[in-house]
Structure 1
Amino acid sequence: MNSANTALLLIDFQRDFCAPGGYADQCAGIEWVRPIIPYAQRALEAARQHGMRIIHTRENYAPDLSDCPATKLRCSERAGARYGSEGPMGRIMIRGEYGNDIIDELAPQPGETVLDKSSYGAFLTTPLDQILKENGITHLALAGVTADVCVHTTLREAADRGYVCYYLKDAISAFDPAVRTACENLVVQEGSVWGVLTEVQDFVSALTENHIEGTHP
């Protein structure tokens, strides 16, 4: 792994997904996400130490929900926490609300990119692809939530654009453990079609040893 052409992409580590009272907590609790945060912290620390480009994303929508499709509103309501409804950290999934910001443990530092997206994937509604290309990034290390929605959507968008992706499985989770495992298994199907299935420790080691262990594409 070359830190000059690899970016760490931290997907939606927001209070709405990771803290008490947020969207995820109202839908399924947060026991599924809290264990991965120390792993994401370790990946972030290593990326900073090696001068990697770091990109954070936040899923969010305008206060009037004009950029949120009705299908998403219906799905979120069925899940247990309608987008835009009031919660203990402000309106759920709304841009600018306290609950929509990134958790303190993974708070961005000056110089790190923060992208707001009104989509599950990180490419569709942001300049992510342009930023990566302008900075010579060809490889992405992915961590975040949720595995089956925003992470896998972004992973597939990236693969379609030709990026080599490292899926840091101990820093990625989903509400359902079976779904999390299925998402990991999907990465390595058809000759590892979506990228490299690996762990944070391998990522950290790769930054100093210029290689990465795991299942390669």
Structure 2
Amino acid sequence: MPPIHDTPILGMTTRPPVTAPVEYGNSASFWVEYPSGLIDVTLSHHLLPGDHWQANGGTVTNGSEKTNGVHADPALGENQVDIPVDGGRTVRIDTSATAIVVIDMQNFFLHPDLRDHPTGLKCVDPLLNIVPPSRKKGIKVLWVNWGLTEHELKTIPPSLVRGFMKSGRGGFGGQLPGKFGRLLMRGEYNSELYGPLQEEYIKGEKAGTDVWIHKNRMSGLWGYQTALDLWLEENGIKTLFFAGVNADQCVLGTLVDAYFRGYNCITLEDAIATTSPEGGLENVLYNAGNGYGFVTDTSRVISALS
């Protein structure tokens, strides 16, 4: 006989649906999963001790509906949307408590004059497609980017400094060719969003739906009270869609830190990319859907929002 834990401890996309509603978490932070595959992360209501569900024509009280003796999931509430995700599940989100986190879609990482990143460039159109309908539904758009100050140049750890240098030269704050300016410093052209994404941000910034957030490490949530962490807390955000580059570096770092902090994490598969060898992206997607949260794509989200 195989060991009793021979299957992956996480492995959420391959698990069969639950046979009865299950609540995970605590009184302040919780999910409710239903046999239909619905996972409600909206914090709208708990399962109560008197609630019950039976596999054959049973019911769940506490706001659920019953039609001809067959259990139906709770009806959608205000600002709630059901998002299909991998593994045959559907995640119910509260759009007023949701943000899209777009990481490092900057000229330094994407501009053809500085780097060959074809898969990263393929993420541009999916982002341009998902951002406008997300804004209409009240979802905030956060553009989280490298943007260093002179002081921060003195506090970055040596391993990170070395990684951004080439043959021991250049690195953070170094002068790039042409109009690109100093590497990943605030206000420089190489630190702007690539091409039409910069224009899209400006449009959203003027409308009050988009926010630019600087970071100074791989993760936008490293350490204590980063700009991103504070903004999310102050604005009551609970659910995060993740997009950007590189998938297995800055996107993954921010995603994992968000998971550790208890955010509901949904990765947009067609809006993340990396320059790493084969396997880098696959590993991120595997763990994003099997442990850190859920995986979907922009087309499924757009369809749900409409």
Give 1:182's aligned amino acid.
N
* Residue from 181, 188, 191 that aligns with 1:90: 181
2:288 to 179, 184, 187: 187
- Distance, in Å, in 2 between the alignment partners of 1:141 and 1:31 is 22
Shift in Å at residue 119 of structure 1?
1.0
CA 1:197–1:95 in structure 2 vs 1: closer, same or farther (change >3 Å)?
same
User: Does the 8 A contact of 1:61 with 1:67 survive in 2?
Assistant: no
Distance 1:69 1:77 in 2: 13
Pick from 142, 147, 168 the counterpart of residue 55 of structure 1: 142
Deviation at 1:47, TM superposition (A): 1.3
* Distance in 1 between residues matched to 2:126 and 2:155, nearest whole Å: 32
CA distance 1:73–1:21, shift in 2 (3 Å): farther
Which residue does the alignment assign to 2:111?
19
8 Å CA contact 2:144–2:213 kept in 1: the answer is: yes
1:81, distance to aligned residue in structure 2 (A): 6.4
The answer to whether the 8 A contact 1:2-1:207 is kept is: no
Partners of 1:63 and 1:95 within 8 A in 2: no
Matched, 1:132 2:232: yes
Describe how 1:35-184 pairs up with structure 2 within 5 A. Answer: 35-63=122-150, 65-78=153-166, 82-88=171-177, 89-107=180-198, 108=201, 109-110=204-205, 111=208, 112-124=210-222, 126-176=226-276, 177-184=278-285
Tell me the residue number matched to 2:67: none
Structure 1 partner of 2:303: 205
Q: Tell me how far 1:78 sits from its aligned partner.
A: 4.9
- Judge conservation of contact 1:67–1:118 (CA < 8 Å) in 2: no
Report the Cα offset of residue 117 of structure 1: 0.7
Give the secondary structure class of the aligned counterpart of 1:106. Answer: helix
Q: TM-score, normalising length from structure 1? A: 0.84
SS at match of 2:102: strand
TM-score by length of 2: 0.61
> Where in structure 1 do 4 or more consecutive aligned residues deviate above 3 Å?
78-81
2:294 is aligned to 196
Q: Secondary structure at 2:279's aligned position in 1? A: helix
Distance (Å, rounded) in 2 between the aligned partners of 1:66 and 1:96: 18
User: Alignment identity in percent?
Assistant: 28
User: Alignment partner of 2:118: what SS?
Assistant: coil
Q: Distance in 1 between matches of 2:302 and 2:155?
A: 37
Q: Whose Rg is larger?
A: 2
| Partner amino acid, structure 1, of 2:280 | V
User: Mean alpha-carbon deviation: is it higher for 76-85 or for 127-136?
Assistant: 76-85
Quick one: distance in 1 between partners of 2:248 and 2:102? 15
Higher relative contact order (CA 8 A, sep 6+): 1
Aligned residue for 1:211?
none
Please give the per-residue CA displacement for 1:23-72, whole angstroms capped at 9, x wherever unaligned.
Answer: xx1xxx12231111111111212212222111111113224622322211
- In 1, Cα distance between equivalents of 2:97 and 2:183: 35
Question: 5+ unaligned residues in a row in structure 1: which ranges?
Answer: 209-217
- Aligned amino acid, residue 285 of structure 2: E
